[in-house]
A = this chain, B = another copy of it.
Amino acid sequence: MTVEYRRLRVALLGAGSVGSQVAALLLRHGDELADRAGAALDLAGIAVRDLDAPREADLPKDLFTTDAETLIVGSDIVIELMGGIEPARSHLLQAINSGADVVTANKALLATHGAEIFEAADQVGAQVYYEAAAAGAIPIIRPLRDSLAGDRVRRIMGIVNGTTNYILDRMDTEGAGFAEVLADAQRLGYAEADPTADVEGYDAAQKAAILASLAFHTTVPLDAVHREGITSIDKGIMDAARRAGYVIKLLAVCERLVDPDTEAESISVRVYPALVSRAHPLASVHGANNAVFVEAEAAGDLMFYGAGAGGVQTASAVLGDVVSAARRHIAGGVGVGESTRAGLAVAPVGRVVTRYQITLEVEDRPGVLAKVAGILSEGRVSIATVEQTVSGEDAATALLVIGTHKALEQDLSETVDRIAASGVVERVVSVLRVEGE
């Protein structure tokens, strides 16, 4: 290389699956990255907890240190890939306050302490990059933050968790049961030994908070995200969905709500397994892949598709951020803060209006449907379709699957409670929303 570039000091915190790949790519493609960034990226060190832990990539031993604080001092760019809240939060704040731009893939941290971190960056004119925190390798942050900044997002529906999509996809295509597929997923490394964060929707909820904040220019706290997992989805529910022309996906839905009377706007952010028409582009997202479907007023429907996770895929997103940070450092000026001035309220899930599919276990005798229909009608929930099938286990009970017209979640929920308490049904098996219509 004949060009003499300005040299930037890069500190890496964390050397797990993603961190090892980031370090390896930084070292291997250094010249190429320098050409693109207009600056040489010098990896000054890698802070880890345990110097002797095994690494996924073969990295020079002398780069490792356990002293993150000292490594951060004097760095131009700090990459945080430790995960968790502390000490990641303290290190990021130290980096920002010492004038570094920061890159993080830490969705848990951003979903809980994002406002604090963005404000600290604003104070000193630093920039926070976090492409890898929202949908793995899929570039979604820049499209939402920049490309759609002149548009109004109506709704985002995201398949943002690869583990649950893998499980639901195999249950759908193979007719397999939840426990069986989960065990397989754990064996193949698609699911953790403790799968709670994935299957209960916690991971998706963190991403939903980040996507909604960007799309609606509003700080969305994690605890405002309504969250349900997929552990209640069994073969029977999957089969009923298939017969009705749907597939079940764990969706992160971020939606702009407009009060019909006052025209006041609010937003809804929710994660739950939902019925998606087989004709919808999201229905064909298979395996551990992710996709984010965006409905915007002017741009219309957009979809972003790709691998949701994986060390090297996520490393691609992190390195894109590192190059952006380097370019900004060279260009000068202060960072562009997060746009949160819309300040929309996050509505409770009760304000959502969708169609529903209610699955009830009932005694197979005359009059049951009439009673259930009566309770629904009293609750202002209008029936669109009814299917009654004999349950596999016991011929005396049947499954009653009711598709509703659009209803207010609060009305629906109260009505289902009344059905459950009425003594008419044995059990409410599931209540699923229909999304993407």
Residues in A lying within 8 Å of B, measured CB to CB: 3, 21, 25, 29, 32-33, 35-38, 125, 131, 137-139, 141-143, 146-152, 217, 281, 284, 296-307, 310, 312-313, 315-324, 327-328, 330-337, 339, 341-342
Cβ contact within 8 Å between B25 and A150: yes
Cβ contact within 8 Å between A305 and B306: no
In the complex, the chain B residue whose C-beta lies closest to that of A294 is B306
List B contacts of A149 (CB < 8 A): 33, 36-37, 319-320, 323-324
Task: Specify which of B150, B312, B327, B328 is in contact with A318 (CB 8 Å cutoff).
Answer: B150
Task: Specify which of B151, B316, B321 is in contact with A316 (CB 8 Å cutoff).
Answer: B151
List B contacts of A331 (CB < 8 A): 125, 333-336
**CB of A157 to closest CB in B, whole Å:** 14
**CB of A216 to closest CB in B, whole Å:** 11
List B contacts of A3 (CB < 8 A): 341
Complex copy number for this chain: 2
Bound complex: CA of A143 vs CA of B135, how far in Å?
13
Cβ contact within 8 Å between A320 and B151: yes
In the complex, the chain B residue whose C-beta lies closest to that of A131 is B147
Cβ contact within 8 Å between B298 and A315: yes
Cβ contact within 8 Å between A143 and B143: yes
List B contacts of A36 (CB < 8 A): 149-150, 217, 339, 341-342
Cβ contact within 8 Å between A299 and B324: no
Task: Specify which of B310, B316, B322 is in contact with A148 (CB 8 Å cutoff).
Answer: B316
Given A38-B336, A149-B323, A331-B336, 6 more contacts at CB 8 Å?
Answer: A36-B149, A138-B302, A139-B142, A150-B321, A284-B284, A332-B334
Bound complex: CA of A151 vs CA of B316, how far in Å?
6
List B contacts of A324 (CB < 8 A): 146, 149
Cβ contact within 8 Å between A139 and B147: yes
Task: Specify which of B37, B300, B313 is in contact with A137 (CB 8 Å cutoff).
Answer: B300
**CB of A149 to closest CB in B, whole Å:** 4
List B contacts of A302 (CB < 8 A): 137-139, 304-307
Bound complex: CA of A315 vs CA of B300, how far in Å?
11
List B contacts of A141 (CB < 8 A): 147
List B contacts of A281 (CB < 8 A): 284, 305
Cβ contact within 8 Å between B313 and A306: no
In the complex, the chain B residue whose C-beta lies closest to that of A147 is B139
Bound complex: CA of A152 vs CA of B335, how far in Å?
27
Bound complex: CA of A42 vs CA of B32, how far in Å?
41
Cβ contact within 8 Å between B35 and A150: no
A-B residue pairs in contact (CB < 8 Å), sample of 15: A35-B217, A36-B149, A38-B339, A138-B302, A142-B146, A143-B143, A149-B319, A150-B315, A150-B316, A151-B319, A298-B312, A299-B317, A301-B307, A303-B306, A305-B305
Task: Specify which of B137, B310, B323, B330 is in contact with A146 (CB 8 Å cutoff).
Answer: B323
**CB of A300 to closest CB in B, whole Å:** 4
